[in-house]
Structure 1
């Protein structure tokens, strides 16, 4: 028996003998934060909304799962340097609402720095809600070790409610991999203003599912948004959907993944270009589909290549309310900061 087979059997024995020995199970819990020094803001007629996958403060380090390098763990100085730049860029935009994905709050790979608290303390944002997607006291693979990483919503105003909604797990994974793997979620918070409730939602859909898991995740997210609309509740939904928009004409011009390891080989994005269409049909997008169709490349938000070009759009903001026309932008100039470009849009609170 090879070394991997022995390790697998040991882990299987441990998992069979105990209910949750590595504490990977995630319930409905949401962690609430506030900045060290809070500021007072009037609720405006127009909200600046931003979504950004911050790549756990990893900048453009060549990590093993991108298959461009073999890094797993960062030095504390590297994380702090990257977080400082992230905070500078966020302050430059000065969003009222910020959705972030891949935020580490207690992970070995990012020197156990709480990145949600860091961003609160170094921007104009006051409050945050965080929901784990990947959590374990110890992950016995690739030197990852302790992990707590997930999605967060940051705001200048306090939340009146917050909840985590679990999304389906990848079905094709074996028992041991599934136990340690990411548990995706939809995070929702509520803000009260002028006697009205605004629902804020963020998500980060599966990246490596080769079955129908991601499609089911997107269907659940869409159904939840539909339920809010049916109840005449206003929402803004933003995040990393890991799916291409319809009319992604350049899908044949990029390599979906540099990986040959099947665990980190990206799914075939080109077969999924209709999965986002229901969101476009029902709701308003920060980047309207007609704009994207005219010029795909200007709205790309992701790449694993750091040599000067983005190659796909995976990040979105939708609403059943009203965005200010032509206010949606993708900030592609910040490639060194993350493998995702942030998307911003102005939301009209008066409609």
Structure 2
């Protein structure tokens, strides 16, 4: 009986696979997963006037699509895929409260859903604009599909955003390399990573603001390649004599990380969502530290790793690795960088904040 059930399930999955292959092969983009250079621009419903300060407070935060610490299937601690609207709004309310408490001038966010079944189709970028002091935002999709026929995910539009108190110009999305080791069906539906860039101008001076979210589960050299592309990108800005601030979730450990494998929260064993073995990656971030200023300087991280850990999938009281960063070729105020580890129940990432001297 069990063998018969398994056989029937395999036959069913095989039929689904053939249907999906047939659809993709017969049409250019039947599930509308392709993402171009388009960037969505947002404004808050009620704008506020802010004087431009001498020092900007900059913050980056992976907000986990308003999911808080619900046990989702990709964490391998639970089997949830879809949230109720009330859950999303409750989590977004807490996120907004914490952001207002910090009161940043610029906010980089990753994993923001704007039109996704899993988050009850709440536009999280607009929600944050309308419930914080930000006036403007730019959003770039990195996971988009009319329908994803896997795990009940359904419609998806999720990506990165930059929120600002002041109007900006020239919003731009630059794609990053895809994971090449995936089969073409998975790659078709999978995340398309990117660099989101805007220009903020003040008194004739221009600051380029950039955010990104690099691959988490690549089993090949994709993440290394993405880091090289990102480094080359900001190097080109620097060579032109332009100023930038880069923030985001790099999914990579800094040099001098004491723990590089066997993280306690790595509960997955099916291969698809196993945490990376980071042991070979700790030097990939070094070029950023060598060329630019970090909100959390490398020497400070080296002295106390745990104080600057910014990620875990465990929600029982500890962070266990740093994967989130802020860099600039300008001027971070010395000793102003901080990893806010007190809000573990709000997201599986801790925000990083720093003051930037104009």
TM range (shorter): over 0.9
Q: Is 1:220 aligned to 2:217, yes or no?
A: no
User: What's the CA shift for 1:257?
Assistant: 2.2
- Describe how 1:1-351 pairs up with structure 2 within 5 A: 2-252=11-261, 254-255=263-264, 257-349=266-358
User: What's the CA shift for 1:261?
Assistant: 1.6
User: What's the CA shift for 1:291?
Assistant: 0.2
- Give CA-to-partner distance per residue, 1:290-340, whole Å, 9 cap, x none: 000000000000000000000000000000000000000000000000000
Secondary structure, aligned partner of 1:158:
coil
- Give CA-to-partner distance per residue, 1:259-294, whole Å, 9 cap, x none: 112111122112100010000000000000000000
User: What's the CA shift for 1:250?
Assistant: 2.5
Cα pair 1:38 1:126 within 8 Å, conserved:
yes
- Could you tell me which runs of 5 or more consecutive residues in structure 2 were left unpaired when the two chains were aligned: 1-9
Secondary structure, aligned partner of 1:262:
coil
Secondary structure, aligned partner of 1:335:
coil
Secondary structure, aligned partner of 1:238:
strand
- In the superposition, the TM-score normalised over structure 1's length comes to 0.98
* Cα RMSD after superposing both structures: 0.9
- In the superposition, the TM-score normalised over structure 2's length comes to 0.96
Cα pair 1:256 1:267 within 8 Å, conserved:
no
Instruction: Give, in whole Å, the separation in 1 of the partners of 2:260 and 2:237.
Output: 33
Instruction: Give, in whole Å, the separation in 2 of the partners of 1:256 and 1:90.
Output: 27
Instruction: Give, in whole Å, the separation in 1 of the partners of 2:50 and 2:221.
Output: 44
Instruction: Give, in whole Å, the separation in 2 of the partners of 1:256 and 1:61.
Output: 14
- Could you tell me which runs of 5 or more consecutive residues in structure 1 were left unpaired when the two chains were aligned: none
Cα pair 2:260 2:277 within 8 Å, conserved:
no
User: What's the CA shift for 1:252?
Assistant: 4.4
Cα pair 1:245 1:273 within 8 Å, conserved:
yes
